[in-house]
Amino acid sequence: MELLYWHWIVFGIGLVLFELIIPSFTALWFGLGAIFVGLLLVIFPELSLTLQVSCWAGVSAALTLMWFKVLKPSHKIVGKVSLQDVDGEIGLVITKPSDNRLGKVRFSTPLKEHDEWEFKAEEPVDIGDQIQVINISENILVMKKY
């Protein structure tokens, strides 16, 4: 079976639409890679299947890498956050704090447009523990076990 340009374009559109279900932006870049190969086949219809798949993989990888390195919005908290904005919120530990490193907590509902925050804990916590905001110091949450 020979793949025609419209096969790649339909496949790409399907992947882009799949992105609506799983919003990670990964399927989007693979979909755009497939659309690129479809358009490439319009210009060069004699491309072998091996070259088509290689182009798709390369373009998809390049777009994904560009997303994570260049375009992805920063997770840094900009501006001051007051305690009243986050006081009492409960999250889940995803990275344990250590002596020289802050932990990371994930909230089910984003706080100030971020669902992951760095934190310090008053007591030892483990990954998967539920913790609650009790204070904030220089945009770093101070937490305790819930």
Structural domains in the chain, sorted by start? 5-71 (no CATH), 83-145 (2.40.50.140)
Rounded to whole angstroms, the Cα distance separating 68 from 74 reads 10
pLDDT in tens, 47-61: 999 999 999 999 999
**Positive or negative CA dihedral for 34, 40, 45, 51?**
negative
pLDDT at 115: 83
Query: Is pTM beyond 0.75 here?
Result: no
Q: Kindly state the percentage of the chain with pLDDT values over 70.
A: 93
Mean pLDDT of 97-110: 88
| CB neighbourhood size of 55 (10 A) | 18
Q: 77 CB contacts (<8 Å, ≥6 apart)?
A: 112, 114, 117, 139
Categorize the per-residue pLDDT at 138 as very low, low, confident or very high, splitting at 50, 70 and 90: confident
